[in-house]
Structures are given as structure tokens and as C-alpha cells.
Structure 1
Amino acid sequence: MGNHQALVASVRQELAEARGTARAVLAAAESSRNEAEQRRRLVRDAYTTCLNQLAEARESTRGDIQRRYRGESVKLAGHLRGLATVSAAGAAGASWRLWSPTEPDPGDSPGLLRIGTLAFDETAGLPALIPLLGAAHLHLDGPSTVVADMVTAILLRALGSVRPGDVRLTVYDPVHLGGTLAPFAPLGVSFVGPGGLGTLLDDLVEHICRRVANHTTTGPEPWRVVVLLADRATAAELTAPQRAQLDRIVRTGVACGVHLVVRGLDLEDHPTVERIVAGDETVTCSSLGDLEVRLDPLPPADRVTAHCRSIADRQNANPAAPTLDDLEPERPWAESSRYGLSAPIGDSTDGTLVDVPLGDDPPHALIGGPPGSGKTNLIHVWLAALSTRYGPEELAFYLLDFKQDAAFARYAPGPRDPSWLPQLRLAGVNVAGDREFGLATLRHLGEELRARAQAAKRCGAGKLAELRTRDPAGHWPRIVAVIDEFPVLLTGRDAAAEEAADLLEDLARRGRAQGIHLVLASQEVSGIQALWGRPGLIGQFTLRIALPKARRVLADDNLAAAVIPRFHAVVNTESGTPGANRVVRLPDAGDPAAWRTLQRRLWRDRPAGCEEPRLFDGDAVPRLPSAYRRRTGNTVGSSPGAVLGERIDVAAQPARLRLGRMAGRNLAVAGTRTPEACDILAAAALSLAAQGPARFTVVCLATEAEHAAARLVADLPDADRQDTADLRLDLTAGEVPRYLIGYGLDATAPEHRTALHTLLTDGPEQRVHVLGWWRSTAPLAGHLDAIGAWVALDVEASDLAALHPQTGGPVWQPRTRRALFFDRSVHRTPEVIIPYEVNSDHT
């Protein structure tokens, strides 16, 4: 009897302590909202404590003593019911009859989840709760149908009790191919097919490692719930490395927001593993001790589907989309890019801005989306957010758009708006037909990369942050190079495509250390597929942004982009792997007035010495600069050089032909495009006249060029018009150079061809040079040794061999206002140039 009295006293003491704990926690639940996280943890701990005390009381009392203290158990159960209400609020604990998704209070963390009721008389109807988000992995065992219903119920409660987007769900179901959880498909679930378990485990471990490495700098991320519904065959085929990865996730996953819900695979014993075993009528849970639980009957299948749709509807029923103003910081240009770049491109469904990083990890971005998905809008939004946070000393933009439009022209000064984006260094628009400018930009960035690497080596620095610390007087902003429709650069199997791929790979591989970041965008799947053939290149683009219906941007088994609506994007910082998605709503950056207001404000605040950016417009025809016109009176240089057109490069330099006293210093313009041929000859003559005294003789044998020839004579006061076809000139060396400007020299009469050949052969050494236009290449065949430079207009690639059989060079496709220039004393291969516009009536 004494032992019974001692036992009764012990039970009374334990029950009293449990009631005291419950009262204390309930009181804490009424405290300020700033203590929400601590309150939730205390409630959870108190619930567990009370359950343990209740189980011990039932096990320790027998017979009359059990009846005497049944009242105490009933009182304790009442406190437990109050704790359960607090710990599993809303959708986490509501009965299925009244169930609907609920929004947690700001600052609240997930609580426990109801799976049923405790199965003994004193506690009839008392909710049985288990941990998951932020607390545990779940290992389920029992009949497959019971386990499937448990998983469905647990996921419904978890997804319905958090904010939309706070949980990323991944399902591995090799037997039913995802059919077990098919109702969850509208929520953007990532389904992993048979054979994908190893890759999934590796991706999860990599994600955990990144979270651990970035713990001090990375903000809150969505929880990742990974459901593994394995069968016996899968369990038997689990390799030793896969088992090791699974064990690592068990040990470290919860702390990094990764939670497993597993059936069919053994999980190692760990405090975070909650084991649930289903029997015939009840289940047991490790956190509930020996207390048995009756599972709540799952609603009918149509109601489960309706609940999933209601969660999806809540996910889509978002507040008003953000605007560009919402992305601006409180203080513009207050951020430093020393360690990287970070700027929001939109918000999540709860209104929280989503930052997109660029730095050491991830270093480069790949953007994809079909036509009309909002790819250009996304780029505008991202550039606007970056430009308000980082000033011109911290950030520089290089922008290339290979679409046939001028989307990036808004950032450069124009005839109606003289302002420009202060961070912009170069913009190329309408360059779909000018891969040469893309190559020139990549070469320029390559030179910048080498300059930074050399400076870092001199300072003993490894990364940009160290270089800026050890060389504070240097100018080392981070560079963001955006190439929209980049596949144009890689199209074909020619030398240009190969060089572009090599340059991109070098920049992607070494650029991260020197603060050069690539952003490649495409709407075509084929272009992105080309990158997969270069693993050293695509492996550097760990930041993936997929717009609605994008393909091949994310991993093949990541289908999130297929279900997002317009003005949304999937941001994935882990190379597109399933489970690393974050859905972002994008502002609409299409309002020109709103953009101009922002740009003008930044432009007015630009620092002194901020240079105007270079704008290359592939549809614009450059005018001959005034410095190369005689009437300006400017001296361009001491040695004669004929300016022919604009080189397709970053610096907008002229293409020049040096005309010294050496053999072959003559020019042949070949092709049938009369206005361009006349402009090339006029630009050459005017630029030569601007460099000092010279004599010009103009000969026109082509009636279609009469007007151009007469105009050139009028613009050159020292020019002689020779109306005859007699091309004999005095070859006695004079004090000033002499130039024969010939239009339609292919029409030279047979009796004068010898005189023309003599001029071409002997003239240059006597300071007499021929600059002529031939409408076809055939008449040039006998003069090629005496012509050291040529410009081809609409000459087909197959006919270039007639000019020089060994020039090689780019795959030439004749097009308006583009010419192929070759000077054998300078070039190894021809280069594409843009003939200047000289006479406006030609264009």
C-alpha cells in the first residue's frame, strides 16, 4: 500500500507540474506578437510534455488507483486540448469538415500538424499532433493505402497552413509515376521519375551545403518537403553513395529547411526523425510515446482535389503586382558591389520582395521564355533595380540585343531624350545581322578581363573584392553583360560561332573572380541546347530564370515554368534543379514615361566625368564625321589615310586605308550597289583632302554615278573632272599626292586598259593612287597584283575568290550598308564595315 501511495503522490506531482506548464504557455500565448516564435516553441514543448506525463500516468496506475485519478487525466486532457488549439491553428488542426487554407500571422512559424485523435476514453476527441516544418523528417510504415492517405493529409495541412510559396514540394514515386499525389499537380509539384533518386539526393545535399556556407548572408528560404515513396526494388537498389547522401540529409536537413517524408526506405535513428507506424485500426508516433492514434478519415478524392485547387487559387489570388517604384531602395546608389550584386525583380505571393544575386555564386544567369512571355520586360526590371542600387562607380552595363528591335535604345541618349543610364557603357540594338559587333563586344570584355587579372596579380589579389581593397585608387566596377537572343552568336559552324563560344566560355569561367557577369537570354530552345554541348560553359550559369512555358532553362525534370502565369518567373539559383524554385511576380516595365522619369533622375545625379555610352544601332547608317570633311579645316593625321566607313567595333573607329609610297596602294570597290559605292569613294576623297594638300582627278564611266561624281567635284575645289576615258596621267613624282577617283572603271575601253594598269602598277611609288569602282569582279582579274585593298559590296561569297583566293574570313552574306574590306598590308582576313553616308539623297 505504501508503494501505491508513493506512486499516487508522484503522479499527482507530475500532473500538477504539467498543468502549471500548460497554464504558463497559454499565458504566454496572449503576450505580444513580437514573441510569436518563442510562444510557438513553448506551446509545442508543453504539448509534448503533457502527453508524456499523461502516458506515464496511464502506464503507472492500475485498478482502483486508475479510477481515482481518471479525473486528473481528464483535467490534463483539457489543458492539452487548449495547447493543441494554439499549436495547430487554422488549417493545421481544423477538422476536414470545416477545413480550408488559412494565412498565418506575420512572424509566425509553422506549428504541429493534426493527423487524428488520441485513442483512449479519457481523451476522446483530443487532437494528435506531429511535427514537420522546421522540426522533423517523417518515416511512415504500414499498409500502402493507409500511408498514401497519411501523406496526402499531412501535405494538405502543411501547404494549407503556410503562405503561398513557402513550401516547395518534390515527389519521388517510381511505382505510380506521381499518381499517388496527383491532386497536388496544380501546385507546381516537381515530380522525379524512376532513376532520378540519386540525382535528387545529390541536389538536396548540395543545397544543404550552400545553405550552410551562406548561413550568415542568405535570407529566409522556402521549406523543401521531399516525399520519397519507394518500393522494395528501389530500396534494394539503393547504392552505398546514395545511402550516405540520404543519411546526410537526415542529419542536417531540418536545420536547413529540408524535410523528408519517406516510405519504403530506412532512415537512420536521429532526434529529427518522427516514426509513424500504422496498424490495423490505429497508428503510433514516436513523439507521442505509446499513445495510440486514430487517423482522421481522409475526405473523398474530389474534395481533396478541391482543397488542392483552393490552395492553388490562394497562391494565384495575390495582392496587386509590384511596380518599378516598389523595387527602389530608400537611398539610391547606397550599395557597394564589392562582394556582389543583389536586387529585387519582383515579389512573392506574400508581398515580400525577392532579391536575385550575382557574385561569386551564382556568377552568371540564363533567362529563357518563348515569344510573348515577358523576357524583355524581365530584363528591363532587373536593370532598373540594379541601377537604382549601384552607382556608376559600382556597376557597368554592356547590353546586346540580337532581336530585330531596339529595346535597349531606351538606355542611351536619343534625339528626343538626351538622358542616358549612367551605368551604361555600351548598347547594341538591331544587331541580328551583325554578329561582328557581338564578337567585338566579347573581345572587349575579354581585354577587360585580362586587365583586371593582371592588376589582381600585381596586387596579390584573388577576387574582385580583394583587388578593390588593395587598389582603392583603381576603377573596378562590376560588369553585367546582357546578351538577348544570344543563340544568334552561336548559329552555324563557322569561325565566328566558334570564336563567340570560346569567348563566352572564357568569360564565364574566369569572369566570376574579376566581377564580370554574363546574363544570356533566349526564346529558342535550340539556342539553349547549343550550350549543353559545352559543359564548361553551361555549368557556370547556376542562376536560371524561367518565364512561362520556358523549356530547357530549368532541369528536365523541373516543370515549374509550365504552370506559372504571365508576368511571373521561376528563379532558381541551383542550376534549375527541382525543389530550388522560387516564383516571382514581375512589375510591368513597359511604360516609357515611367522609365524616362527614373532615368532622368539618375542621369541628373550622375557623377562628374560620367561618359556618354556608345550606342550601336544596326539599322542606322553612320554619317561621315565632320572631322573628315575638307570644309572643317581640321587636320586628321600626318600620313594620308582614306576613310572608307565605320568599323563594327566597340569604339566606333573608322576603317582607314593607308596610301603610302609603296606598291599596291590602290583601292578597288566592287559591286553593283551604286549609292554605297559612290559614298565609299566620296568618303575616301573627302577624308584625304582633309589631311592636307592633294590633287584629285575624277573620272566617271558609269552614267548612274554622274550626279555623285559631279557633287564630289563640287566638294573638292582642287579636283579636276576628266570627261574622257583616257587614263594616262603624268607619273612624275610631285610635291603633293594625286588621286584618281574612278566611277565605273569596269567600262574602261580596251585601248585604255594598259594606261590604267600602268597607273595601278607604277603610280603609288610616285604618290599617284587609284581609288576606283568596278561593278563586277571579272575586270579586276588582270589588276589584282597592283591592287592592295578592296571593298566588296553585293559580291557573293563564291565570287570573292576572284578578288583574292586566300582571304578566308567571315562567312559573308551581302546585305545593305555592309561591305567587306580587305587590306593585304594590314588584314589577315577581311572585316565587315559600314560605309558612311556622305550624300543624304543616297539613303
Structure 2
Amino acid sequence: MAKILTAGQSISTLEKLRQTMEELGGREKALIASRDRELKSIQQKYALENARFKRQAEAETQKAMEALNEERIRLESHFALRKVRIDHAYENAQKALNEAAEQTRSQQKYENQKELLQANRAHDADLQSVDHVRKSFSAELSNETQRLENSGGLGWRVFKGYGNFRRWLRDGGQPSPGEVSFQDENALLESLKSQLTELESSLSFSVHNALARLFSFVSIWLILCCLGIGGAIVFLMPQVSDAIGATQNRILIGFGGMGGLVMIVYAMGYILARGAARSFVNSFANCTGLIEQCQLAANRSREDATASAREVLQTIESRLEAAWLDADVSATEQCERGLNKLLPQRNRLMARHESMLATALKRLSESRPSGLDNGNFAFHEKDEKGETDQQALQTEVIRRFDQEIGDVCSDWNRLIPAWCSDLNTSREAVRQMEQTWNTASTQGWEVPLSGEPAGCFAQITIDWKEFAPSVPTDSSMHLPKGACLQVPMVFKMPLGESVLFESEGPAPEQIIEAINHTALELLLTAPAGRMRFTLIDPVGLGKNFAGLMHLADYDDQLINRRIWTQPNQIEQCLFDLTEHMEKVTQMYLRNEYDTLGEYNQVAGNIAEKYHVLVVSDFPTGFSESALRRLHNIAVSGARCGVFLLLHRDRRQAMSEDAVVHDLREHCVWIQSQKNGYRLGAHAWTGVHLNWIDRVKLQDTVHLIHQIGQANVDSNRVQVPFSQITPKPDACWTQDTSASLKVPIGRTGASKLQYLTLGKGTQQHALIAGKTGSGKSTLFHVIVSNLALWCSPDQVEFYLIDFKKGVEFKCYAAHKMPHARVVAIESDREFGLSVLERVDQELRRRGDLFREKGVQDLARYRSAEDTQPLPRTLLMIDEFQEYFVEDDHVAQNAAVLLDRIVRQGRAFGIHVILGSQTLGGAYTLARTTFAQMAVRIALQCDEADSYLIMDENNAAPRLLSRPGEGIYNNRNGAVEGNSPFQTVWLNDDERDTYLQQVSTLAQNHASKETGPVVFEGNAPADIRDNHELVAALGIEPSGDPEETCAWLGAPNSIKGPTGAAFGVQSSSNLLIIGQNEEMAFSMIISSLISLAAQQSSDRAEFIVLDAFPDHSAKREMMDQVIAMLPHRVRSLKHERLEDIMERLETHMDRRAEHGAVHGEIYFIVIGLQLFKKLRPEDEFSFSANEEE
């Protein structure tokens, strides 16, 4: 970009021009006017042609876009129909499952109804049979009852002549004492028949007894009455006796004799019939009782039969109800299992459907229709041709007019070329910057990678007639077109001036717009991350700069987090700025650089930011202390890269007139007047100050968001790691006897920042920084650079990473000889075992030092006959994970860390603890922290700043970019702060250097076996099992008392994890899990482990698996079996029944003889697949009958 003059430089140049231009004439005005007309005509013609070509290209583009939209609609419609089909198929499958379940229920219901109908029919038949039997019995009983009634009537007729007999018959007799009551109705009926037969037999005798029956026809009382009446008549009517011819007495005696004879006959008949009558009455009573018993027995039998039939029916109904419930439950479960299988299928289909749709739409969006390319190509081709033609015409016009005004140009260029060139160059550069602004506000812009930030806040219009008598207007004479010269007022860094705006009253809209647009232009023209603003608005309370607050959504450091409004906030902001100026002056500039710009040119990618303090309505809200700090900024800020954009309200009185005087002296001063604004320090005529007419600030929100987006990662500064690495011939040359010293970054423009441990109180380090601050990179820098500078005899590492990542995995992958332990995604228990290992090393070194009578590592190494003893560096990232729970792990870790930190310094053991925040590490004693003199603070908040440093040192809160840090070796005291930038080490570069370290180890014949690696979320590598490797390397002999099936790596520092098999009960292993690959790997590892520990003639393996032929697992299993010298039997050689029978035979033989002839290992892979191994009474359930 061409050089842009600052506002002060432009004003100075105008002053010199004004003095010179009064001496020059303007003979070229008429020629220039003609030339301008022709040029304008050519430009209009080109504009019309360009517009026509553009319309044609837009028409073709529109047509292509319509075709693209139609294709998109077709695709969406096609996939919508496909989704409907998937839903329809899913619904049909659901319906089929429901119908199948309903069919099962219907079938069971049909069978239940059928069987219930048969049961009801049987029940009705039983009842009908009972009724038939009862009716038959009742008919027969009725017949016998009729016989009894007939016999009773006959008996009544036979014995009714005797009163006692009639009374007996009415009262009924008594059953025979010897008679038995039967329960069976048929037996009772037979008894009744027998009794009736006897009754009829006895009654027939009485019927033939004429004397007994005599009085059954004529009552004795009737006879006696007749005889009495006859006697009375004879006695009362003597004429009757006379008529008869007998005496009255004789007749009366005859009647009396006849009466006596009747009584005698009656008595004889009574005596003769009394026994028969008594027997008849008793037999009749017995028969009557038997009839009642028969009826009762018949009723009881019918009730029993009916109850039995009903019980059978109820039993059948209960059984059918249970069968219906079982069928309903089975159908429901079958339906639910089917639905559970269907839903994942539908989800997979829908996911695949959505993926296909997204892929099709993406492919369609990525494809460009030919109409777009053709239309754009034709437009650009015609545009380029038109532009070429226009340039040719313009060149011809300019050439022609140049010939005519050559003499005038010669004189003009000879007098004032330098000043006009500077102004025009600056103006053109500003115009390009304004084009960048216009393009950025509509189409976006490309973030500059270099350059000086600049912003045009106003322009001065020079009226040549008033400013000077004759003002040339032709641009070829280095003056702008027209009668006026527009000189931009540019706020530029790093050599620019601050700007002071003054007005009567609060800041007017024009000044606020100018300040806001200037801030945006500074951000547009500055490389990302090189600008920082502090906004103060005590009257508007943030309203004046509210649009810039959008920047905080992307990087709050761009505007110092917020807009400050309160006096205490303003004072703090000015304090931070003056503190920053002190840091820049004392740490960076010193007496080496005049300005921050010079420093940044040398510093390169660790250049410091430029700060702009933006203030409205000054001096409102400014205390005396704030005024003094503002005065310092105005006088000395430009050298330190701190500038002012300040508005002053002249109506507000100030107690410090010197501040206003110095502000006006060191700033470009613009003041308001009745009809506008002017330069406060110059009273030129023909000079008018105008504000730049730009888009309203509220219409630039999208541009502000673009600027914010461009600055999201702008704080990243990458200092190459190669700047701190040793040269190839210097690798592994550093001696750590006195101390451990390694460069980790750059401080200042050209110096290196070193991490030093083992010197004085600088024994341990504490590193803290929030997420993204570069803490992990710093860890890698320390480890990688130490591995390059120092050999394994000089330094060794114990690396623990509690983050859910693989930060330290590269050191395990490259088998870095310096590493003793590498814990990746470590759990707390393994981390504790590492501390215990370091504690054991501390005790071991203590014993060695006592043997040699030395007190530190340097004296030990200088002693005779000593083994190499490197400095030990224990590095723990996110160490607070030890203390997330209050348990024995946290307690033991706190004790071990405290002991290592306190005692390790004398034995060359150093600790580096890293954390994103120290807020969760309170379980660790504060005295432990106090032993860690070296503090490295990366980006963190104010609370963590006080925790990692001390209570008076909040400097880390001002750190603003990743990798930027403060190195402090005085327990966090302010005087120990040393700002630095960590070098950048990417993964590929780190792997390259680690490979270089591996090569060095090979060249030096390092005996290190590699680190103990624990990766919490990765499978173990069987090749790392040293015990298995040793077993494979020797020939087994004899019978070992115990063999071990190694399963994997441990989660602590110990030998590999395995299952021991000995000659004892329950010496078996069951592996259960859903990860088939992991289970298969454990089986293979166990098979190889057991085979490696026993000779081929003392061990036999039986392997059952269900792997399909030509599968990967099948091939691997066959390969392993083929390599084993032992006898291995499988389903490929024998049937499962034969294998189990032979195994049972072996067990019985060994149990009988009590001798063991070699080991037999029965290995089943996929136990659930061998149904023949299941007990016969084991139930299994499946979604359908086939399964």
C-alpha cells in the first residue's frame, strides 16, 4: 500500500504548498476542462455497455439458478416420497406384527370356544342323563306309591269297620325296629317293593276273612241303632208286636239277643283281625318312610351328579382361561419383540435416508450450472475488453492534452512535485482504503497480513481560489480534479498523532460517527490481532460506542471487554494503560528502540499490539489521578503505541489547564465553530473540514461481525520452535549437574526465555492457564527441547496426563529414551502409582547419596564409581484431578507430592504441575505450593492470577493471546515478572524432532528399554508383555505348578494382568462382555500364553468356536493353532458330542486314579452359540418360533 500521510503530516505539507502555490499560475484550466469532458464521455459509454453486458449475464445466471432450484425441488420430492415409503413399510410391518399377535389370540380364542362348547354339551348331556334317571326312578317310585295307596285304600275298606283300626290307620304305625335305612335309592326302592309285596300278601289274607270284613260294609253302630230303634218301636208301639204276633217282651228279648250276638260277632272279628290290622298299619308306615327315603336319596343323587358335572365344567373353563391369558401374553411379547427389532431398522433407514438426501443436496450445491460459468465468463471477458478499450481511449486523450499543456506541467512539476506527490499518493491510498471500506461493507474483505493501521476520520477541502490565487486542477500536475483539493485527515500508526475533538456540549453525532468509523477502519487496515481499544463513555453510558460492542462477541480483548463509564472504572483503565506503557518502555523499548513500531519490526510475529484510548465527553468522570494518567498517555503514549481519540466538552471546567494545553499540543486539534468544524491550530482561508460521508453506523453491523470473525484467532502468535532448538552438533551436549536450563520461548524482540530448575530456590514449577492458552504446547516444548539438549543420562521424564486426550502419546509412540513413565488419559490410581514410583526413586537416591557421603546431584556425579543419575522431571498436566474426590487417592497423592517437592531438590527430582485453574486443588497443602518458586502464568482470569502468583500480582489477567505468558521465579512476586511468548510446536514438527531423538539414541547405543506406557482408553499391545516375550524365547520343561493366561496391561506400575491356572478346583476363567473383538483378542492372548509356558507333550487344547469359514477370526484362529506345537482339537476334527464324551472320560479316569497326566485346556469361544452345551431344562425365548 502506498504511503499514507498522517493528519499532522498532511497539515504540514499543506502549509508548505500554500506558500509555494501562490507563485504559480493556472494556464491549463481550459485544456483540463475539455479533457475531463472527453474522459467522462468515454467513461459513460463504457458504463452503459458494462451495464448491458451485466444484465445479459444476470439473465443467464437467473436461468441457471432456476434450473438448479428445479433440480433441488425434484430431489427433495423424490426423497420425500422415499421417506413416505419407509414410513409406510414401517407401518405395514407394525400392522403385520399386530395382526400376527391378533391371529394368535383369535386361534387361541377359537380353540377355547370349541373346547368350551364341547364341555357345555357334555355338561348338558350329563344333566339330561341325571334327569332321565331321575324321571325313570320317579315313575317307578310313583308306581310303587300308587301300589301303596291302593293297598292303603284296600286296607281301609277291610279294617274300617273297627274304630281302633281306623284310628291306627289315621295315626299311622311305627316302622319295624329291625328295619335299616339305605342310602342308595335303588336299594331303598327294592326294599319298598319287598315291603309292598309283604303288605299285599298280608292284606290278601284279611280280605278273605269274612268275619273281619263283615263290619267294613255295615257299621256295628248302625246295626245296634237299628236294633234299638226296632226295640223302641216295639216297646212304644205295642200294636207292632200285635201285628207281628209275638209278645212285646219276646220281641224285645229277641232284639236284645240279636244285639248281643252282633257284639259277640264284632268282638270275634276284632280279635281275629287285630294282628293283621296291626301288621298292616306298621307295614304301611314302613313303606311310607321308604318312599320318603327314596325321594330324599334320589334328590341327593341328582344334586351330587349335578355338582360333579358343574365342577368338571368349571375345571375346563379355568384351564381355558389360563390358556387364553398365556396366549395373550405370548402374543403381546412377540409383538413387542418384533417392534423392538423394527424400530432400530427404521431409524437406520431414516438416518441413511437423511444422509443420502444431505449428500445429494450437497453434491447439487457444489455443482455449478454451466449457465453460471458461461454468463460470468462472458461478462468478465466483455468487461475486460471494454476496460481495455476505455483505457486505450483515455490514454489517447491524455496523450493529446499532455502535448498541449506540456509547458505548464514542466513548470509545475519542477516547483512543487514532491509535496503534491505526497498528498496525491496519500489521497489515493486513502481512496483505496475507502474502497476497501465500501467493499467490506457490502462484500467483505481480505484481512491484511501486514501494513500500518490507518483510519480517515475527516477530510480537508482546499479551495484553490481562496487558498491560493491560481490553483491547477489537472491531476497530471499532481492536484486533484476540480477546483478543490481534498486532503484526508488520517489517524495512523505507529508514527501518527492522537486526535482531539472539541465541541460545545456533549459529543455531537458527527464526531461520534467519525470516531466509530475511524476505529473500524483501523481494524480493517490492521493485521488481525494488532489493535486493541479502550472505550470510555461516561455520559452516554456506552451508547456512543454501542456498535463496537459486537466485537466482544468474538474477542473481548478487542475492546478491553466492555465500554467503561464509571470514574473508578476509568481510573483503572488508565492505570492498566500506563502500566502497559511502563512494561513496553522498560521491557521492550528501553534505549534500543525509539518507538513501538521499530520494536515490532524486529519482533516480527511477537509484535505488541497498538492501543487506542477512545473517550467521549471528557473530562466527565475523570478524577485528578485519571487526568494525570491521561496527561502521561498524551505526552508519552505514541512512543509506546498508545494513542488517543478523545472528545472534549468545552463547557466542562477543568482544574488542570496544563492537561488541555498538552492535549492540544500533542494531538491533531479539531474544534467546532458556528458553521462547522475547523483545524484548531490553523486559521487558513479556503480550508473547510468535512466529515467523511459513509454508511450509517447502524448499517455496518454485518461488517463489524466480519471484523470480529476475522479476529477470532488473531491472538495466535507462532514463534518457530526451531529458534530455541540446538544445532545438530549441539544435541545431547548440555550438562545438568548444576541445574536444568532449557529455552521455552522469546522475551522481548530477540532474547530467549529459559526455564531454570535446580538453582537456588528454583526447584519446581507451577504452570496455569485456561483452555486454549497454550499450556499443552508449553509442556511439549519443555519435554521436546530437553530431549534435544540433554541425553537420557542427564534428564528423565515421568509424564502424567489427566486430560481426556492423548497429549503425551507421541513420546510413547517414539519410545523416547528419556521417558520412564508415560500416562495417557490416566486414571487417578495409576497416577498415584507413578507418585509412589518417584517416591521410591527418591528413597533410592537418598541411599546412594548416603553411601557416597554427598548432599546434592553435582557432588554425586563428581564422585568416583557412580552410576549415571539423571535429573528427574515429574510433569503432571491437570494435577488437580488427584483431588477431585476426598478419598485415599487424594490423601496419599497430597502426602507424596508434598514429600517429593520438599525433599526432591537435593536429589535432582523436580516437579512441574500444570492446571487450567487452581481453584480445585485446595486439597493440596498451600505449603506445597510455597515450595514451587517458578510460576508460569498463561492466559487466566484475575482470581487464578492471584492464586498462581501472589496476592499483589494480577499481571496475568492482562495476557491476551495464546502462548503469551509471564515467567516468574520469585514465588509470584511482582518484581519477578518476565513476559514471554511460548514457541509454537505443531504435531508434525514435534514428531520430526522426536524421530531425531530416536536416531540419536540409536547412534549412542542407548540401553534404555523405553517408557512404561499407560493409555487409559487404548488396548494393550501383546508385544509389550515382556514376560510373554521371555516365555516364548525359552523351551518350557517339566510341569509348572501354575500357568498364567496373560490378558492385558495393568492400570498401575506392575507386571501384566493375567489369570493363574493351577491344579485346584474352580481354576477356570469366564470372559463376559459385548466387545467380541476384545474378548477374541484375550482368548488368543491366553492361548499363546498357556502354550508358551508348557511343553507340547504336557498340554492339550480343546477349542470350540463357531466362526464361519474364510472369516478374519477363523483365519487368525487357524494361523495360531497351526503355529502351536501342542495337540489342538476342534470341531473341524471331531463332533461336539465326541469331544464332550472324551473330556468326561478323562475327568472320570483322573478322578479315579488321582493322577494328572498333562494339562487340558477347554476353550469355548461364543458359549451362547453352542446350544448343545445348555442344560436340557433350560428355557430360551426368541422373537419367533424359528429362532
**TM-score, scaled relative to structure 1:** 0.48
Question: Which structure shows the bigger proportion of residues in helix conformation?
Answer: 2
Structure with the bigger percentage of strand: 1
